[in-house]
Amino acid sequence: MSSLYQRLGGQEAVDAVVETFYRKVLMDDRISEFFEDIDMEQQIQKQKAFLTMVFGGPVNYSGLDMREGHKHLVDRGLNDQHVDAVIELLGTALAEHGVNQEEISEVASIANSVRDDVLNRTTG
């Protein structure tokens, strides 16, 4: 079976989804504070890389990368509610790009699989 990455239409489609997703993140009062004061372009490149992996494209992040990349945010109070909000907005962005609910759930469960790493806690 082809990956969602391929079904979406490869890197260009992922890029478009990321921009939609990032706009939602920046406008959402629940989480926008974590995205202030950072270089937008670098942030977008990182999101592209992460979502490329989530969609089954040619990127592999290790749990360690995820931990180190978010540690400073955990120190600033990043918690489960924020991760929920991010996954919810990702789903909305995907829906706007014509992805069906079943696939959105699949993406959410992959995104959920890195939750403990993102929040820098030991897997229970």
Partner 1 sequence: MSDVEICYKERTYRVYPGETVLESLERAGIFVPSSCRAGVCQSCLLKSEEGTPPPRSQEGLKPQLKASGHFLACICRPQEYIKCAPAHTADFRGNVTIKDIKKIGKNVALVRFHKPDNFNYTPGQFVTLTLRGGLSRSYSIATYLNSESYFDIHVRHIEKGRMSTWFHSQAQKGDRLWMEGPKGECTYNPGHPNEPLTLIGTGTGIAPLYAIAKDALENGHSGPIALYQGALKEESLYFEDEIENMAASHSNIRYVRCVLHKSFRQNITYGDLKDIALSELTDANTRRIYLCGDPGLVRILKKSFFLAGVSIKKIHADPFVVSEHKK
Q: What is the rounded distance in angstroms from the CA atom of residue 23 to the CA atom of residue 60?
A: 25
One residue of 28, 33, 34, 44 binding partner 1 per CB under 8 A: 44
Got the DSSP string for 111-123? HHTTHHHHTT---
Shortest Cβ 124–partner 1 spacing (Å): 27
| In the complex, least distance from residue 45 CB atom to partner 1, rounded to whole angstroms | 5
Q: Which CB, 12 or 102, lies closer to partner 1? A: 12
Which one of 7, 33, 49, 120 is in contact with partner 1 (CB under 8 A)? Answer: 49
The nearest distance, CB 20 to partner 1, in angstroms, is: 10
Q: What minimum distance in Å lies between the beta carbon of 102 and partner 1?
A: 26
HEC letters along 10-79: HHHHHHHHHHHHHHHHHHCCCCHHHHCCCCHHHHHHHHHHHHHHHCCCCCCCCHHHHHHHHHHHHHCCCC
Residue 60 engages partner 1 in binding (rule: CB under 8 A): yes
